[in-house]
Amino acid sequence: MRDEDDILRLIAADPWMMAVLDAARRLELPDCWIGAGFVRGKVWDHLHGFTQATPLDDIDVLYFQTADTSPAAEQAIEERLHQVLPGQPWSVKNQARMHLRNGDQPYSGTVDAMRHWLETPTCVAVRLNAAGQLELAAPHGIGDLVNLTVRPTPAGQRRKQAYRERLENKNWLQNWPKTHAIWP
């Protein structure tokens, strides 16, 4: 696993991931991506030689819409996703409101919001575009992801305690024992 194309080929070969991506694409949400553990877990499972996927706590559907930033709008989208592809742990978050939770300036879009997440290998997302082609977004690059390194982003450096708590609570180092962490 060397580059973004390798990651996209890995995802394209997974029928379940493609069904999830298609379900999100069908809703035509603005600036919509599926990120975090959806991509990170797939890559790390592959790099560990796992034959079974590590279960996901949720499927992080990210979009950016300033017109309605209410949690109720996110819930309505989750309900629509459950209709399109039932039985999945959908978690929908409008990134146009997440700056408030994180104490940041307003974000300009979904990828900009991802730049403010706490650890580099989580700052990755994928989508099916309108033409049905896979696209990958990784505002901090894919180096740490493919090298099994958990490193704080600049936001993680500023919010060191939150970064450390995520490392301790997510069990990444136990679930994927070849990973290693940088502790600020």
Residue-level pLDDT, tens digit, the chain, 184 residues: 899 999 999 999 999 999 999 999 999 999 999 999 999 999 999 999 999 999 999 999 999 999 999 999 999 999 999 999 999 999 999 999 999 888 899 999 999 999 999 999 999 999 999 999 999 999 999 999 999 999 999 999 999 999 999 999 999 999 999 999 999 8
What pLDDT is stored for residue 10 in this prediction?
Answer: 98
Burial string for 50-61 (b: 16+ CB within 10 Å, else e) reads: eeeebebeebbb
Distance CA 101, CA 147 (A): 30
What pLDDT is stored for residue 100 in this prediction?
Answer: 87
Asked if 106 and 99 touch (Cβ cutoff 8 Å), the reply is: yes
What pLDDT is stored for residue 101 in this prediction?
Answer: 85
How many CA atoms lie less than 13 Å away from 85 in the CB half-sphere? Answer: 17
What pLDDT is stored for residue 103 in this prediction?
Answer: 86
Report phi then psi at 152, rounded to 5.
-70, 140
Distance CA 37, CA 43 (A): 9
What pLDDT is stored for residue 95 in this prediction?
Answer: 97
Alpha-carbon torsion (123, 94, 161, 41), positive or negative: negative
Q: Is the pTM of this model over 0.85?
A: yes
What pLDDT is stored for residue 184 in this prediction?
Answer: 84
